[in-house]
Structure 1
């Protein structure tokens, strides 16, 4: 009786193990392929709960999310035969599970190696057709888009991989030529700075000369206008004096003599040697104003 119990327990255990090994789950983030003795019998198992024949069928699961390939920095030559160190990355995901499994045996590292070879070859061809200026300009974006499209076609056909995007993280100069390039760039910038300073000095001299010339012209015109105004004023004053003095010539002569006396005797140290009958003392010698 005890042996039958053990046999039933053993049978139940086998059934449980067999049922557990025949059930598998594929999540939304995974892609799966069902194999039978190593041969693909179901290429793309949909997400959900599934059953398989234990010890006969085998299920391989792969990450179905968007993955990143960080390629090793590589040295490429431009059309000018100048070396550049290019650091790039790619975004990819599994598109055809059967092709992906056949090409890579389901190994992500193998997929990265195959993609890296194709991407490096494409970058080498693209950079080899550009000069240094085009590499660092906006034309590089067009280059990356074209490379993504071409690599995607090859990767879908050969590996079952969809290449979503390829980008260049950094473009740098090799260490052995970096210093010489920097020195040349520094020399060019200094030459440009000297040219700008020379042009600035030339322009400044021209501005100063024009300002000095304008200053002289303005001063001359102002002096000319002032002299003209002063001359008109003197003429007007002389006219007014003439009109005033012409009304009484004798009084004007008398008034002028008084002014002359005032100026002549202003200083006590002055000495005048004149004849008494000199015309200077005419009004002093006259009696009753005659």
Structure 2
């Protein structure tokens, strides 16, 4: 047998064993070296690593921050109103050995199942101590921080760090939405009816006050008008009396003309007089006679 024919297979086998004893750790990974299921080495820094071929194996885990959307669950807040809650968690493996011991060969998937249970329990614990109104409000930061702290404490045994927990949805169950909307509509309608009633009452008060003010103003205006009218009548009578005292005949004459004017305002009225009446005598004479009496209409 040729010596080279023996050395070549040995070199090939040695090369294969050498290659299989080297592994590369990516910067996004964390690696465990196991021997018969027992952890022998932990490699978290990127670079080359070594193991015993055929005896030891390499198990890789994602070293980045991972996300976990939890399954929707129903919770009962302090006021016994059921709510459907969805949450979103961000977590990272911090202790590979503890994580391996906790989840076994299940890896990341098994860890997510365990973590989902922990977060759901923390959600029920926190939301069960507050009223639903606080859960449904926009400011839920304090509640989410409490859930995160509880989940962080419970997940430490898994070798996991819970970085953040966010409530993505907090709604009423579908079967309760119609009843809730009907109750909200009834409350809003009652509030609207109260506002309308208060507005009507206020309008009635304003209307009554305005009516009273109008009556007072009209009464005051009429009073002042009567006073002005009386003063004007007094001045008019004084002027008439003064004019009558200065020339009684002319005053009687003007009063007669005024009487004629008023009598002929209709447009279709006529006056029948005799030619020798005092009125014509007044027009023909240079000296005014006694003022004629106002004519009588036929």
Instruction: Determine the C-alpha separation between the residues in 2 that align with 1:185 and 1:268.
Output: 80
Instruction: Determine the C-alpha separation between the residues in 1 that align with 2:119 and 2:164.
Output: 11
Instruction: Determine the C-alpha separation between the residues in 2 that align with 1:239 and 1:42.
Output: 132
1:28 aligns with 2:27: yes
- Matched residue SS, 1:189: helix
Q: 2:141 matched to which residue of 1?
A: 141
Q: 2:270 matched to which residue of 1?
A: 269
Alignment of 1:1-290 (within 5 A): 3-105=2-104, 107-138=107-138, 140-156=140-156, 158-236=157-235, 238=237, 247-260=246-259, 263=262, 269-270=270-271, 288-289=287-288
Is the Cα contact below 8 Å between 1:84 and 1:172 reproduced in 2?
yes
TM value normalised by structure 1: 0.81
1:88-145 superposed Cα distances (whole Å, 9 cap, x missing partner): 2211111112211211126112111211222222222222212222221256321210
Q: Point out where structure 2 has 5 or more consecutive residues left out of the alignment.
A: 290-298
Instruction: Determine the C-alpha separation between the residues in 2 that align with 1:174 and 1:233.
Output: 85
Instruction: Determine the C-alpha separation between the residues in 1 that align with 2:262 and 2:179.
Output: 90
Is the Cα contact below 8 Å between 2:30 and 2:63 reproduced in 1?
yes
Q: Point out where structure 1 has 5 or more consecutive residues left out of the alignment.
A: none
Q: Which moved more, 1:214-223 or 1:127-136?
A: 214-223
The Cα of 1:58 is off from its aligned counterpart by 2.2
Count of matched residue pairs: 285
Q: Which moved more, 1:130-139 or 1:163-172?
A: 130-139
1:34-55 superposed Cα distances (whole Å, 9 cap, x missing partner): 2233222223431222222222
Instruction: Determine the C-alpha separation between the residues in 2 that align with 1:64 and 1:150.
Output: 23
The Cα of 1:159 is off from its aligned counterpart by 0.7
Is the Cα contact below 8 Å between 2:127 and 2:135 reproduced in 1?
yes
Instruction: Determine the C-alpha separation between the residues in 2 that align with 1:81 and 1:261.
Output: 99
Is the Cα contact below 8 Å between 1:84 and 1:173 reproduced in 2?
yes
1:229-249 superposed Cα distances (whole Å, 9 cap, x missing partner): 444455455555655665545
Q: 1:96 to 1:262 in 2, by over 3 A?
A: closer
The Cα of 1:23 is off from its aligned counterpart by 1.8
Is the Cα contact below 8 Å between 1:44 and 1:98 reproduced in 2?
no
**Aligned-pair Cα RMSD in Å:** 3.4
